[in-house]
A and B are shown apart, each in its own frame.
Chain A
């Protein structure tokens, strides 16, 4: 069965620090990869996605992620975080093959707290 691992449960950073959140998945076939953000009390919003092509994906609000197929990883990065980035971040994967394309698997989430 597919699974998604997010390495850090809670990350605390100061403003202007660089961010990298880890995401690994277990599935050997072709996948679609996503990062979603959930601000306190709000619903999930898509930060960025990877379907195919350039493995370095740029998203909204200065976030980017790199798909490394050999490492089954899709880590999220931001060079300089702001207090407004305080939120919970979820990595998600769905297998790109017939029969299970609709089954989207989420990681357990990483809470990011940015100190002003």
Chain B
């Protein structure tokens, strides 16, 4: 089954304790991305990756790191989590590309990781 998986699904941690949320897709997608969802703010993009070894900042990258060493995985790293990073995190992937002058990018989302930082 084609899917995006995230682990863990739920995590409670304390301030300053490094953590990693994994994201994996089995669709051979080039593009992957991380978002956080907060009430009243919608989804905001943290980082994205257009391909292996290529990552770019989204709108709210502060306090986060990512890496894209292989196509299927795109882990999100919080080196020193703080309470304002308590949120619902979604990973997404897409088979992006260009057809003529049109760039297409239809994203498929993972199930989400609910993170609480105390």
Contacts and interface: CB of A to CB of B under 8 A. Distances in A.
Do A and B originate from a single complex? yes
Interface of A: 30, 32, 34, 36, 42-46, 49, 51-52, 90, 92, 94, 96-97, 101-109
Contacts of A107: 42
Contacts of B104: 32, 51
Nearest to A43: B109
A102 B102 contact: no
B42 A90 contact: yes
Contacts of A97: 103
B90 A32 contact: no
Contact of A102 (B43, B44, B48, B109): B48
Contact of B96 (A43, A102, A103, A109): A102
Interface in B93-118: 96, 101-112
A102 B90 CA distance: 16
Nearest to A88: B42
A104 B45 contact: yes
